[in-house]
Structure 1
């Protein structure tokens, strides 16, 4: 069968079912093998986080392990200025991180293919990335931006794992200063809530009206602790009686013995009254 003389359209984006655009990835300019990235505009109705604006965020699948955040940022910077790159093991909502930890105190990241969220400064960058030709691969390692692999990569990771004691002390001191500051803010907040929920001598609590349009706040932590302590004091006042079977049995025996004693006392009192009766009609 003679081959078809019809030429496929070149320099055109490749769109697959699901709305994903295929981008070719090539490690080096002289590499033969290519890797495929699947990009799509991030549109999730449940996404309420401002860190991923729906009109400027690109969702990327199948990011290889040799492409960390810095490399991914450089690759997609040709489509526009990149504001943020977030790589994760699985797609999901943005996780608000608490205190920022140094890389020396973070657990080792899992090695494998990642999913990414790339936030651009301009929404036009999304269109530029989706319209990139499929036949023009993105080159990962260049002379201006070399990416180490193999033994060189492990040597670099081993060298970077060491840290000077002075630098480590600075990181620890900075973290502890932030920690003390957060604790002081929490203590002041709890103190203010305790003052607001404080009862007067007659047991009344002062309730103030908040700004217009604000929803009613739930009970504060200080108020919950106070109510819990009050319940504990109530339980301590009450004596636990007849909890066990032997307690109930002993209580019944004591009650019967007391009734018998009272019955004998009443019999003696009646006999004494009969003996002292002086009225004799005949």
Structure 2
């Protein structure tokens, strides 16, 4: 659905106001933003309904300051939220996020102080080209943006705070699980099975190099003990021959030792 009458009015496509913008006055290519008032079935204190504007297709190099410059003529702006995708509430930035940080188009939530700011933004004309930067608010992009991002150091205090909060939740969850396992210890479930837990007398040891070495030695000794010896006839004969040879060698050694002992006991008066 297209709604427009002349060049002095806004261009509306399927409920979205189309805005034509450029990075700066030197830019030749235009970029198009899609605006609409924010509406959600869930109430959010950060994004009050009627005062929040949703901006789609925001360039990856665009920052909050650039959007504030773009919409400063619409009304007083409280805050701008930039997110990788739409959501019902502001997404929390985490230092330990497992998601890949791929630079792509963003979604912006512009919160105005008064509802007139949203109406004025949705009434912006399509024919007028607007800019995302000026002398006071530059638009950092390309290699320069990557260099500045590389030079930015993370806040150590914020990282420690987030890590401590995460570990507190983890320990609390682990304690609840252990408490639940202790309560269910020895109690059969609906099918009559009893869950084996680690809360008995023998809780097991920690998996270290020493415990693994002892475990391997125990397995080897058990295998050696259960090994079948002289299972075949030729093995029995060979074992018997070896045993006889050992007895003969031991007998000769004993004879030699007895002879030496007799010589040592011989009476020598002179």
TM-score interval, smaller chain: 0.5 to 0.7
Q: CA deviation at 1:227?
A: 5.1
Q: Scaled by the length of structure 2, what TM-score is found?
A: 0.56
**1-side partners of 2:15 and 2:122: how far apart?**
10
2:76 aligned with 1:76: no
Q: Rg: which structure is higher?
A: 2
Extract unaligned runs of 5+ from structure 2: 195-270
Distance 1:109 1:81, change over 3 A: farther
Paired residues, number: 186
Q: Displaced runs of 4+ in structure 1, greater than 6 A? A: 181-187, 220-224
Among residues 229, 237, 243, which one is paired with 2:182 in the alignment? 229
* Aligned residue runs from structure 1 range 1-282, under 5 A: 9-16=6-13, 18-44=14-40, 46-95=41-90, 97=92, 101=94, 109-158=101-150, 160-161=151-152, 163=153, 171-173=155-157, 175-176=159-160, 226=179, 228-234=181-187
Q: CA deviation at 1:233?
A: 3.7
Q: CA deviation at 1:13?
A: 1.1
Q: Scaled by the length of structure 1, what TM-score is found?
A: 0.54
Extract unaligned runs of 5+ from structure 1: 1-7, 191-219, 241-282
Distance 1:131 1:234, change over 3 A: closer
Distance 1:181 1:135, change over 3 A: closer
- In structure 2, the partner of 1:207 is none
